[in-house]
Structure formats: C-alpha cells, structure tokens
Structure 1
C-alpha cells in the first residue's frame, strides 16, 4: 500500500479551520478543538501536519499533572537540563515556544502546540489554565484533539472555552473519501461495487477503510484485475475487514 497522505473531506475542513485561526480577529482566541470518534483519522492528520510544519506534538496522559505536562513538553522541546521548580519550567517552556513561534512567522509557516488525547485533560482546570496561560502570553495557537467530549467539557471553564475560535469535528468517510483513499493508497485497481462495499463494512472509519485496502491489494496483486479492477465477485468469500465490535472477519458475500 502506498504511503501517501490523502486530503479527505475531514483534512480539508481541518486545514480551512487552521487558516481561519491564523486570520482570527481577537489574538487571544487562539485555541482550536479537533473532535471526533476514534478511527476517523484525527491523529494521522495532526501528526502529518506537525511533521510538515515543524510544530510540537504531545499526547496527553490520564494522570497528567501540570508538572508532568511541563516535563513532557520540555522533553519534546529538547531541553536537556530542565529547571527544577514549576515556575522556572513554565518560563522555559514559554521561552522555547516563543522562539519557535517567532521563527515560524519569519519563515511564513504555521506553528502550533498540538495536544492529542485531550479528553484526559479537558476536565482538569489546573492543566487547562496552564494551557491558557501559554497561549495568552505568546499568542500561540494550541490545538486540542479529542474523541468527542472536549467541547462539552470546556463549557465548565468559560475562561478557556471563550478562547476556542475554531472547532472541527471529524465525520465518517463518504463514498468520495473512500474512493479517494483507494485511488491514492491502493496499488491495484478497485471496481466500483467493491469500493461501495468497503464504505458499507467500514462504516466510514478510516482505520477499517485502510484495512480493507490492504486486504484488497494483497488479493489483487496475485491476479490480473483487468480494466474494471478487483470486483466483489473476484473476492467472494474472502475476508475484507474485521468487525470492530466482535473482531471477527467480515467476508465479501457471494453474488447471485
């Protein structure tokens, strides 16, 4: 399978929101929330964007404290000898992020701090206030990535929620998204009927779509699909994805 990043409709909405974030009116309103169910491509999208722009990526932990958060951020910023007190850790983080943000602006590229699995911190006022302080002091875009509850949780903290200027919800893939993923990632041609079946059995989850593509490709490379591509008839009786609830394989049905 080709290692190609595909700009699905979710990715396009995310990039549009980032452009709007850069052009925001109130400079302090520089938080963004990216939400959606697991398996829709949020982490893949954010990691790709981080790698492309030299941004900073962290994955929140369930037991994070403000100090643990600062330590992981300093490590990600490659500060080899971090200070001991929380106050000095915070000052060092702000200094390092400000330098990177200024360099990005000089180079005319986007920069942000991305915090994945933000559901773990979306109820923790002390960490959220630390995030808000960092964002306020250097007007740094911070992207909170969660699994559907971050926006709801932030309503408990209006001083934080008021700084969220962009909200992006990742939705299940459409048939156009599935066809695009197949076109860009699969190394064999896939027929229209099989692409539609992939949408049905994947229920629009990117994770399952990619699993189906891998299975189709393995099968297709052993045959000559012809102009139409690999069809449902070709793969009848073959596993295409595992059911995410039972973990049992779903087979391509026989066609009569």
Structure 2
C-alpha cells in the first residue's frame, strides 16, 4: 500500500480548525482541541499538518506527552523541539519558550494530552505559555479529554475551536481503497461496507483490512474483489466491535 495521507473528512476538518485559529480576531482565544477514540487517525493527521506547516516555514512545535510526564519532563520536551536543552529553574525554561515562540511565531501542538490533564502545574504552564504568546495551541487527546478539561475553567474558556474525530464512513473507506492500493484492483462496495462495519470506522483497522485484500488480489491476479470473491477470509481479529 502507498504511504500517504488521504484527505478524508477528519483531515479536512482539522485543517479548517487550525486555519480558523490562525485567522481569528484579536478578541477570540486561540486554543484548539482535537479529541476522539483511539485508531481514528488523530496523531497521523496532526503530524501530517505539522509537516505541511513546517514545509511552508510556519515552524510549529509538536510534542507528545507520556504517562510518566512531570512538568519538568514536559517542558524539556518542548525545549528540545525548540532546539535547546532545559534551563533551570523551570521558570527560565518557560521564559525561553515564550520568547522563542513570540520571536518565531511558533504554534504549539500537544499530543496525548490526556496524560497531563490531571497535572495542575503542567496545564497551568500551558495556559501561561498561551497567555504570553496568544499563538495557537492545539491539544490532542482521547474521547474523555473534553469532559476532563472542562473542569479547568481558565484553560477551557480559552478553547475557541474543537473537533471530534468521527469513525470513517463508507465514502472515507472508499477513498482509502482508491488512493492507497498500489495495484490496479477495485474493491466492491459490499466489501468496503463490511470493512467499515467490522472496523468500527477505525482507520488503523481499515488499512490493515485493505492491505490484506491487496495482497490477496496480487497473489490471485485479480482486478476486482467483492465480498463473494473474498469469501470466508479473515480481515479482523474475532472480537466484538461497535457497529457504526
């Protein structure tokens, strides 16, 4: 399969969200929130957008939080993105981050933010950085992050743009098949719908299924595979998934 980003609905909505943050008025706060279930492509989409921004000279900073993060380790990761080692005391690191972001107009993307949402000092530091720069800050997390962050009113009230990543629909799955399969094979609509249902709309599981179909078509010299042709072949592990 081809290694590329397919601009399905979640990708386009993410691009629109960030464009809105960049073009907002002076009275509108600039923190964005991306949330949704695992496997729907949040990290891949944001990484793609960050790479696009970098290629255009916009210099975003992208950090991914870990379960073991502390305020110190989080700031160290941001400092590394900015090309510098941590400065102690930590207040000096915060000052450096603020000055560098202001000087270079750097937006900040914080992936896996669920890991730090319960850490008051870390979250307040993110708010301090935003308040001192007013440059876009985008938090990315799982389904529950929107509810959890609502308890931090000072940060929550600064969120002006948010999107929830939704399961891939039939049109999305069809686009994945059309744009990612390297061989000239058509996947029948009934098989695409089966993939959507059994994957629960998860991008990862959808791509795994499509790669299995591609290999099957290649080994059998087929240019068309529908559910009848696929037969009883296994596309997914046998465990229950929600139907969407």
- Cα 1:201–1:245 change in 2 (3 A) is closer
1:212–1:241 contact (8 Å) kept in structure 2: yes
Q: Does 1:219 align with 2:216?
A: yes
Q: 2 CA distance for matches of 1:42 and 1:26?
A: 28
1:28–1:136 contact (8 Å) kept in structure 2: no
Partner of residue 64, structure 1:
69
Partner of residue 203, structure 1:
200
Q: 1 CA distance for matches of 2:114 and 2:196?
A: 28
Q: 1 CA distance for matches of 2:239 and 2:88?
A: 45
**Paired residue secondary structure (2:138):** strand
Partner of residue 12, structure 1:
12
Q: What is the CA RMSD across the aligned residues, in angstroms?
A: 1.7
The alignment covers a number of residue pairs equal to 234
Partner of residue 88, structure 1:
92
By how many angstroms is 1:163 displaced?
A: 0.4
Q: 1 CA distance for matches of 2:143 and 2:156?
A: 15
Structure 2, unmatched stretches of 5+, are: 55-59
Q: 2 CA distance for matches of 1:115 and 1:167?
A: 14
Q: 2 CA distance for matches of 1:26 and 1:128?
A: 23
Partner of residue 251, structure 1:
none
TM-score by length of 2: 0.90
**Paired residue secondary structure (1:166):** strand
Q: Does 1:74 align with 2:69?
A: no
Equivalent of 2:120 in 120, 125, 145: 125
**Paired residue secondary structure (1:241):** coil
Equivalent of 1:100 in 77, 97, 104: 104
Partner of residue 166, structure 1:
161
2:109–2:139 contact (8 Å) kept in structure 1: yes
Q: 2 CA distance for matches of 1:59 and 1:122?
A: 13
Instruction: Encode CA deviations 1:79-116: one digit per residue, 9 max, x unaligned.
Output: 1x432211111111112222331xxxxxxxxx521111
TM-score by length of 1: 0.86
Partner of residue 47, structure 1:
47
Instruction: Encode CA deviations 1:208-249: one digit per residue, 9 max, x unaligned.
Output: 1000011001111122324xx112222212121224669xxx
Instruction: Encode CA deviations 1:161-207: one digit per residue, 9 max, x unaligned.
Output: 11000110001111001101111111232122211111121111111
By how many angstroms is 1:143 displaced?
A: 0.7
Instruction: Encode CA deviations 1:1-27: one digit per residue, 9 max, x unaligned.
Output: 011211111111111211221222345
Mapping 1:26-45, distance limit 5 Å: 26-27=26-27, 29-45=29-45
Q: 2 CA distance for matches of 1:244 and 1:53?
A: 39
**Paired residue secondary structure (1:178):** helix
Structure 1, unmatched stretches of 5+, are: 102-110, 247-256
1:115–1:145 contact (8 Å) kept in structure 2: yes
By how many angstroms is 1:141 displaced?
A: 0.7
Instruction: Encode CA deviations 1:38-57: one digit per residue, 9 max, x unaligned.
Output: 00000110111111112211
